[in-house]
Amino acid sequence: MDFYEQTMLAYLSKHQLFRNGDRLVIGVSGGIDSMVLLHFLSQQRSQLGISLTVVHVDHMLRGDQSAEDSRFVEQQCKLWDVPYESYQAPIPAILAEKGGNTQNVCREERYRIFEFVMKKTQSEVLITAHHADDQLETILMDGMRGSLKHGDFGMRNKRPISGGSLVRPQLAVTKADIARYAELNKVPYREDPSNASDAYTRNRIRKTLLPTMALENPRAAMHFSELAEQLNEDAAFLWQLAQQALEELLVSPEELQISAESFRSHPSALQKRMVLLLLNYLYDGKRVLITSPLAEQVRELLQSSSGTVFLHLPQNYRMIRQYDRVFFEKSTEQAEFQRADIGQLWSPPVEGCRYRVVPIGEEPEVENAVFWYFHSEETDFTLRGREPGDRILLAGMSRAKKLARLMIDEKVPSQQRDYWPIIVAGKHQVLLVPRLRTASYLSRSKRSEDNRVLIEQCIDYAK
């Protein structure tokens, strides 16, 4: 038994990622990572007491190569006696209709298919082939984006998904371990040329940063994977404590009201999580983007019990502290949003969405986003309120339309018109009136003359 097999069996036993008798769905692309995992599980299924169903998703991005991948995986499944299902995800058509980041759209469609097959086969577990090197890439990407503040540290080895669990047993091994297993066991696999493309942030990290780190320590990826596991275990415990502490603080389950003094009696690590839980309760599944600065503002407001203080929150809510009593309410006044330069940074959240303009080729890898492509020689892009004289050129019109007239036609209540956000290039070139209309020169499909992309990201607050 080689190192890969020993490590994987020990890891599965330690973490109980699935149980004897479980039905597993495994996503297999045909690449070395998923083919090695499939070979290992198919060889060990009797010992582990599991049944397998392979799912291959053709994203229809590489023509004949994609079709050959599908036939290859099907052939190997027949040789290894593993049930096989293949599906096509029309990614080009989806991108043409809705725009978006290619990798994120592929991932969303792939997991939608995985969950469908889980339900169809009554399987409890979805297995993916992410390994320790993938974990390190994810940690580095999240760190560079600044998204490590409130979420998981990298990928968890097990998390709930619709109808079951997603598990990643190969987080216990590195890419080098997988390659050695493939060589020893003569596991066939196919190469995806897109993995070598510098168009994706993850690929650039894989080709530049990881080799440098491996020169310092060949097991660096494994150490980061172990660190992520430890930190996520600690974080899960802290979330549990925060949940218990907040339940004790709430005056009643139906009313979001707490004592600031009682809140301050808890350590900072619990305070930060209690704030996020409070905001989860407040919005109760609504599409709201909670930024780190906003969460910190809420926490700072709770650090005193003197006087009366108001804090405006997304979707026209207010947090009010009257001496020691803290509660939330829906504001009856329309709160004006903050003017923002979106050519460099994301805008503050507006009704659960944020906006940014970047040059084509620099699109960030974000989820729940819509991309509009356009050409502009302007360098300043702003989210602001309506100003006198603002006009937008709509599709099918030869002359630009006044925004005041547009809002009347769209039946926007009069009290909201002065506070409605718009996005402009330069001083007055209106690109987008969120939730209403886009300018005629914006397109969901990338054209040869386009040099900019406007991104709208609407996010469900991550619990």
- Long-range contacts (CB closer than 8 Å, 24 or more residues apart) made by 178-181: 178/4, 178/32, 178/33, 178/36, 178/131, 179/32, 180/2, 180/3, 180/4, 181/2, 181/4, 181/5, 181/36, 181/39, 181/40
Within 46-122, strands assigned E span 51-58, 84-88
DSSP symbol at 230: H
Provide the pairing of β-strand 421-425 with 381-385. Answer: antiparallel
- The CA-atom distances, in angstroms, between 100 and each of 202, 364, 372, 456 are 17, 10, 8, 10
The Cα–Cα gap between 333 and 415 comes to: 9
Nearest CA among 447, 444, 359, 454 for reference residue 395 = 444
Calculate helix-pair angle for 220-249, 132-145, nearest 10 degrees.
Answer: 60
List binding-site positions.
29-34
The Cα–Cα gap between 347 and 448 comes to: 27
User: Could you write out the DSSP letters of every residue in 310-327?
Assistant: EEEEGGGEEEEEETTEEE
Residue environment code for 298-314, b if the CB has 16+ CB neighbours within 10 A, otherwise e: bbebbeebeeebebbbb
Nearest CA among 446, 424, 382 for reference residue 100 = 446
Token match 């959240």: residue?
A: 349
The H helix count followed by the E strand count for the chain is: 15, 20
User: Could you write out the DSSP letters of every residue in 203-223?
Assistant: HHIIIIIHHHHHHH-TTHHHH
SS3 content of the chain, % helix, strand, coil (to 5): 45, 20, 35
The Cα–Cα gap between 180 and 73 comes to: 20
The Cα–Cα gap between 447 and 454 comes to: 14
The Cα–Cα gap between 296 and 151 comes to: 15
Token match 């969950």: residue?
A: 115
Position 21: which residue type? G
- The CA-atom distances, in angstroms, between 377 and each of 202, 339, 361, 401, 431 are 30, 22, 16, 22, 13
Q: Are 369 and 101 in contact (CB under 8 A)?
A: yes
List binding-site positions for ATP.
29-34
Q: Are 75 and 38 in contact (CB under 8 A)?
A: no
